[in-house]
Amino acid sequence: MKFLVEDTKEGQRAYPALLLDDPRLFSILSNELALKIIKELGRRPACPMDIARALRIHEQNVYYHIRKLEKLGLIKIIRTEERVGAIAKIYSPVSSVVSFKLFEGEHIDDVKTRAGELKFLKPFIQNGKFNSIIVVGSPDPHGKYKSPASDGYCAIDLGMFLGQFIKDSTIPYYKLDTQVREEDLKKNIILIGGPKTNIIADKINKKLPIYYDYSEELLEWNIVSSLSKTVYREAQIGFITRIPNPFSEGKEILVFSGKGFRGTRAAVLAFIKHIKKVMKGNSAVPSNIANVVQGIDVDSDGIIDEVEFLE
């Protein structure tokens, strides 16, 4: 993904940018109506009829420019809606910034802004602020399984990693699962641990694309991927997944979990060391941010220090 980095008085801002490979594509942007249509779509996604009404022009004129803009890759269909017995195509701009590189000129290698990661970390981190809460399992026996959590320590490594993107925040950053109240569930949440030791993880377990299932035969919890149809039983297996918050519209939940401490450490380590691979989504279904990883003790000191992505 390409970005335009802009220096302002408040600091750097990065905008996702569409890099064109043919400067002739800019010609359509010289058309006043085409430019008005893109700007209108930038305010809110819409169908041609909505745009025609907003701009007070004939719908056929809008359709003409919509087709050209879509063909050139400047706008895209993001969804369809049923309108009075017909299907309406809802369009949105591909990017608010369009650019063209004339030649390989002078450039800066050491740019402060890690724009791709910052974009991915929204809404958990937004405008330099920690906009979420980390929930770890209580170290005391608790919940319906009466299990103590040991993987909350993984939140320390995760917090150190996230801290590089944060300029301002309000302490505390975390709560134990036993301290979480109704109002906390309506926030963006970062969950550490599985359903056996984290009450909140148990509440959302069956809503996850990668989840836990208890085996009565083996008397243990297994990790199941609904994406690859695979069951994972090894102790060092962990997963990362991201879903809309079922308790609050517009909020999200990011989960780091595994079969005990080693599995959860593997999940956190995968995120810290290989976040760009995590951003690419699941190998079977890339549209899902859901990865299964296996922890590896490279130097045989008993500590997971690398991971292998299984999906």
Choose between 6 and 287: higher pLDDT. Answer: 287
pLDDT of 54-103, one tens digit each? 999 999 999 999 999 998 889 999 999 988 888 999 999 998 888 777 66
User: What's the token pair of residue 216?
Assistant: 């009565």
Amino acid at residue number 258: G
Instruction: Specify the pLDDT at position 216.
Output: 76
Domains of the chain: 2-99 (1.10.10.10), 115-309 (3.30.379.10)
Burial 209-225 (b: 16+ CB within 10 A, else e): bbbbeeeeeeeebbbbb
pLDDT band at 113 (very low <50, low <70, confident <90, very high): low
Instruction: Specify the pLDDT at position 11.
Output: 65
Q: What mean pLDDT is predicted for residues 100-125?
A: 72
What percent of the chain is predicted at pLDDT more than 90? 64
Residue 227 has pLDDT above 70, yes or no: yes
Residues ≥6 apart with Cβ < 8 Å to 90: 45, 46, 47, 77, 78, 79, 80, 81
pLDDT of 261-281, one tens digit each? 999 999 999 999 999 999 999
Residue 310 has pLDDT above 60, yes or no: yes
Arithmetic mean of pLDDT over the chain = 89
pLDDT band at 16 (very low <50, low <70, confident <90, very high): confident
